[in-house]
Structure 1
Amino acid sequence: MQPSKNFKPFFLNSNLSFGRAGGDTVESLLHPAAGNSGNSYITYALVKTVLGDFAGLSHIANVYEYDFSSGRDAEFARAECTHVFLVLQDQIRIEESYGLRLPYENIVSFLKKCGKPVVIAGLGANSFGGFDPEFHKKLPPALVKFLREISGMCEKIGIRGEFTADVLAKLGISNFQIIGCPSFFETGPGRRVEKPPFGELNPVLTSPIVYRSGSVPAVMQDFLEKDLINLSVFGKFTEEIRLEDYRRAKRGNLGIFFNPEKWKTFLGKYNFALGPRVHGSIAAINAGLPAVCTNTDSRAAEMCAFLKIPRLADDSFVNYAAIPNARNFADFIKRAYEACDTETINAAYPKLFENYKNFITSQGLPFNSGKCANSGLLSDIEMRGPTLSLPAAVLKLSGLECKRLFRRLSRSAAKRLLKRKRS
């Protein structure tokens, strides 16, 4: 199918942030991305794929907070746009993250008012207990109805893997194609990753809470890292902050990004990535690093299996389990390195890329790859880095007293966390 000559997409739930990153709280900062900066990577990749330019992008950032009552954007999309991209992540689940719930009826109504072909790429199911053959029976009826309605508006839905395919098929939905995630393909067809010698490893973590060390760099994404985002972006200290966290932030070893180009630049200073974040692993791979994902949920399992992303799921420190000391961390790095198969991911990539290209072009959409104009319009989150300073009360303490204070705060935080878990 030939792409339309006057192609103009509208992105619903883009999770993109433009201009100055907003607010002075973690909630306001992450608002455009619906709580997770990694969500924006999907739309970023789609814009690169079908448009090649971020200037003048027509979009609604956060569908959870959008006021659907005016109808103005739907009228604009109907009059001015050729397609509507509904950007979803792993919302096929029993409960969504952060207590959110998609406004199913409003989304369906909006799409009907637009009256344009709907494109969905990267939708996934997520069962935190792993693959569950009865998972489709446990989904909320409103979600099932929503999935059936939006599938009827699409030529086909691009989904993340075999588990999602199984769930949709059991719901009577058959117009789908497994693609993985658009973000995996945003650098174009020639991508390769090379595994460095073990003795030359310079690792970066896809989440800092896996190992709390001042010397190990890491990327933050969502509310799980709220205290560290507060520290490194806003300079706010909470009782959860340790001395190692302060040192890590001050050395510039923490980052959070709305612009994947800045994200990849940060990751490019290192040569091996590991941790529980799936899109963190994808960003690292696109930056040229071998990466190992340590997440055990079905979303990670199916995407890693389909895209051949190396995964370590049978370890003591999977998901967000905290690694207690340097010796355990060194052993963990060794196990992750042994699990990292770059030959398989490199060999599989050309065919996977062509499959993704087929998904796009078979719907009459234009296909671009490589660089994208005006990505600099996306928000840049400034880190405090070397300018980060301790509160005045702490500065008056001696070095030993300072360490004791942070240790006491850490114990207090641990007690509260244990209490929450028990309740």
Structure 2
Amino acid sequence: MKKLFVLNGGAAVKPGNKSAYLKFEDPLAAFNKGGINTGDVLVYDATLKALAYDDIRNVQFSHAGNEKLWPQDGTYDATVVRGSNYLTETVDLAHVVPLLKKLKGPVVAIGVGAQAGKYKKLNVPKGTVEAWKIIADKCETIGVRGFYSAEIFNDLGIKNVRVIGCPSFYRSLKPSITIKSIDPAQARIGLTLNKYLSADYASNATKTNRMQRALIDAVAKRPSSKLYSQGEREETLAIFSSGKEKQDNIKAILTKFNLLGHTEAEEMLNNRMSAFFDIEEWAADAAANVDVMVGFRLHGNVIALHQGIPAIFFTYDSRIRELASLFAIPSIEIEDYLPINLEKLLERADFSKVQHIYRINYAEYHRFLTENKLNHVLPKPVAAPADKPLSAPNLVQVPHNIHEAVSWFRSEIDFMTGEVETLRNRAWNLETTLRSVNSKQEAPAKVAV
């Protein structure tokens, strides 16, 4: 029996070990506690599809310090680390080091990446550096998701890396994909949002949120389009609740994007929004109902792209930028901060490079799994891996007439001015309140006669 140990799998595994899902008895109770990123489940699911093991057990990094959960010596043929944002300035993997030292056999990370709002050198915690050096010594190569991540590993003195992208891109297990064509005027659009982007997860949180607002406004006006929640708390609660609770969550979403009173957006959130905890169901729904996916969730777009459904990325952090560049996916850079003309955007998106680059990246992924001696089921590549890096942004260049540009920036300036005024009023109210408190504290006490 071939047995696999997984670090940070983060989901239940279906019988047959080829699919992952979130097992909830009560989704409302779970999401009332907080959001859950179902994109991580997609990565795990795609990893399982590529590998061939009879028995699979996973342990979360958060539980890695519990020795009772560790595998016994010699009981597993290999360990894989499910890809995610493990190279940051805020994540310390020191508690995982004792387990990594104890593990027998190869320890292979698949699709790991560095995370930052924008390109910069990272001051990685010592515990994380030690953890990755142990892993590097226990594998042939570390599979990283892009060239920025490879650079950060190199800065740590770890050279045995291979740029493979994210396993989710290869979920179809096909050595090539064909991207379907788009009818810009009639296309059914799948929308993904990410409401809480800041710090390491956005180079500019304000621009990111305002661009999402503009995208909601455009997509909601297409009655055939829908929004997919990727574990967002308010969105998921709105889908699975009813009555006042549902409306409160919809109101929270509209408020976040300054869209209260937007009739089409409210209707979309009420009637055209879906969330899935089973990856097979999520993929099937996208295949049946979406002609093009557009938005701010990496894996919310990949759930379409790996099936040949076109997807357009909005790039706002290091992760999205390096993956979009690696696969030559048409993208809009939020730092450009231009108005959204949805039909022109769909017309101008060029997917001609994606199919070619995918075949090359797939070959690299196949080589990575093979050289690390992982049991896998990937068919042979139809292209050779690239001799030189082929990573470059594929930005969608949309022309805007003077009226569009002036109208967009005038409304944005009005909004920003209002926000500044609100902050000034809050600061003034705080100052006057503090003055009042201080004056009461400093007033002489009355002496009784």
Q: Same fold (TM over 0.5)?
A: yes
Cα offset for 1:106? 2.8
Whether 1:343 aligns to 2:352 is yes
Whether 1:24 aligns to 2:33 is no
TM norm structure 1 = 0.72
**Closer, same or farther in 2 for the Cα pair 1:126/1:333, shift >3 Å?**
farther
Which residue, out of 153, 161, 168, partners 1:183? Answer: 168
Paired position in structure 1 for 2:368: 359
Paired position in structure 2 for 1:247: 267
Structure 2 residue matching 1:107: 3-state secondary structure:
helix
Q: Which amino acid aligns with 1:262?
A: E
Cα offset for 1:246? 5.4
Cα offset for 1:175? 0.8
Cα offset for 1:313? 1.0
Structure 1 residue matching 2:235: 3-state secondary structure:
helix
Q: Which amino acid aligns with 1:105?
A: A
Paired position in structure 2 for 1:68: 65
**Closer, same or farther in 2 for the Cα pair 1:315/1:271, shift >3 Å?**
farther
Cα offset for 1:124? 0.7
More relative contact order, 1 or 2 (CA 8 Å, 6+ apart): 1
Cα displacement string for residues 283-305 of structure 1 (whole angstroms, at most 9, x for unaligned residues): 11123211111022111111111
What is the CA–CA distance in structure 1 between the aligned matches of 2:267 and 2:342, rounded to whole Å?
A: 22
Paired position in structure 2 for 1:217: 226
Larger mean Cα displacement after TM superposition, 281-290 or 228-237: 228-237
What is the CA–CA distance in structure 1 between the aligned matches of 2:143 and 2:68, rounded to whole Å?
A: 28
User: Gapped runs of 5+ residues in structure 1?
Assistant: 1-5, 96-100, 319-327, 371-410
Paired position in structure 1 for 2:344: 334
Paired position in structure 2 for 1:156: 141
Are 2:10 and 2:41, in contact at CA under 8 Å, matched by a contact in 1? Answer: yes
Whether 1:201 aligns to 2:198 is no
**Closer, same or farther in 2 for the Cα pair 1:270/1:122, shift >3 Å?**
same
User: Gapped runs of 5+ residues in structure 2?
Assistant: 13-21, 196-211, 255-262, 380-414, 428-449
Which residue, out of 80, 84, 105, partners 1:116? Answer: 105
Cα offset for 1:314? 5.4
Q: Which amino acid aligns with 1:127?
A: A
**Closer, same or farther in 2 for the Cα pair 1:29/1:342, shift >3 Å?**
farther
**Closer, same or farther in 2 for the Cα pair 1:272/1:30, shift >3 Å?**
same
What is the CA–CA distance in structure 2 between the aligned matches of 1:21 and 1:39, rounded to whole Å?
A: 20
Whether 1:291 aligns to 2:311 is yes
Which structure's residues are more often strand, by fraction?
2
Q: Which amino acid aligns with 1:12?
A: L
Count residues with an aligned counterpart: 341
Are 2:227 and 2:269, in contact at CA under 8 Å, matched by a contact in 1? Answer: no
Are 1:10 and 1:58, in contact at CA under 8 Å, matched by a contact in 2? Answer: yes
**Closer, same or farther in 2 for the Cα pair 1:337/1:7, shift >3 Å?**
farther
**Closer, same or farther in 2 for the Cα pair 1:81/1:314, shift >3 Å?**
same
TM norm structure 2 = 0.68
Are 2:52 and 2:377, in contact at CA under 8 Å, matched by a contact in 1? Answer: yes
Whether 1:303 aligns to 2:323 is yes
Are 2:312 and 2:331, in contact at CA under 8 Å, matched by a contact in 1? Answer: yes
CA RMSD of the aligned region, Å? 3.1
What is the CA–CA distance in structure 1 between the aligned matches of 2:30 and 2:307, rounded to whole Å?
A: 26
Cα offset for 1:272? 0.9
Cα displacement string for residues 9-55 of structure 1 (whole angstroms, at most 9, x for unaligned residues): 11111021454355534547778xxx3110112211111001278xx
Are 1:26 and 1:229, in contact at CA under 8 Å, matched by a contact in 2? Answer: no
What is the CA–CA distance in structure 2 between the aligned matches of 1:336 and 1:90, rounded to whole Å?
A: 30
Structure 2 residue matching 1:116: 3-state secondary structure:
coil
**Closer, same or farther in 2 for the Cα pair 1:106/1:315, shift >3 Å?**
closer
**Closer, same or farther in 2 for the Cα pair 1:255/1:369, shift >3 Å?**
farther
Structure 1 residue matching 2:87: 3-state secondary structure:
coil
Cα offset for 1:158? 0.1
**Closer, same or farther in 2 for the Cα pair 1:15/1:22, shift >3 Å?**
farther
Structure 1 residue matching 2:332: 3-state secondary structure:
coil
Cα offset for 1:173? 0.6
Q: Which amino acid aligns with 1:82?
A: D
Q: Which amino acid aligns with 1:240?
A: A
Paired position in structure 1 for 2:4: 9
Paired position in structure 1 for 2:77: 82
Structure 1 residue matching 2:333: 3-state secondary structure:
coil
What is the CA–CA distance in structure 2 between the aligned matches of 1:142 and 1:117, rounded to whole Å?
A: 20
Q: Which amino acid aligns with 1:59?
A: N
Paired position in structure 2 for 1:264: 283
The sequence identity of aligned pairs, in percent, is: 21
Q: Give the alignment of 1:30-49 within 5 angstroms.
A: 35-49=36-50
What is the CA–CA distance in structure 2 between the aligned matches of 1:264 and 1:183, rounded to whole Å?
A: 12
Structure 2 residue matching 1:200: 3-state secondary structure:
coil
Cα offset for 1:169? 1.0
Whether 1:57 aligns to 2:56 is yes
Cα displacement string for residues 157-202 of structure 1 (whole angstroms, at most 9, x for unaligned residues): 0001111111111211101100001111110224211222323321
Are 1:208 and 1:217, in contact at CA under 8 Å, matched by a contact in 2? Answer: no
Structure 1 residue matching 2:178: 3-state secondary structure:
coil
Cα offset for 1:59? 1.4
Cα offset for 1:233? 2.2
Q: Which amino acid aligns with 2:61?
A: V
Are 2:190 and 2:292, in contact at CA under 8 Å, matched by a contact in 1? Answer: yes
Paired position in structure 2 for 1:382: none
Are 2:185 and 2:343, in contact at CA under 8 Å, matched by a contact in 1? Answer: no
Q: Give the alignment of 1:91-102 within 5 angstroms.
A: 91-95=86-90, 101-102=91-92
Structure 1 residue matching 2:88: 3-state secondary structure:
coil
Are 1:21 and 1:29, in contact at CA under 8 Å, matched by a contact in 2? Answer: no
Cα offset for 1:317? 5.5
Cα displacement string for residues 349-390 of structure 1 (whole angstroms, at most 9, x for unaligned residues): 2221111011001111222149xxxxxxxxxxxxxxxxxxxx
**Closer, same or farther in 2 for the Cα pair 1:264/1:230, shift >3 Å?**
same
Larger mean Cα displacement after TM superposition, 178-187 or 346-355: 346-355
**Closer, same or farther in 2 for the Cα pair 1:369/1:28, shift >3 Å?**
farther
Are 1:265 and 1:287, in contact at CA under 8 Å, matched by a contact in 2? Answer: no
Cα offset for 1:153? 2.5
Cα displacement string for residues 368-415 of structure 1 (whole angstroms, at most 9, x for unaligned residues): 149xxxxxxxxxxxxxxxxxxxxxxxxxxxxxxxxxxxxxxxx9xx98
Q: Which amino acid aligns with 2:189?
A: P
Runs of 4+ aligned residues of structure 1 deviating over 6 Å after TM superposition are: 28-31
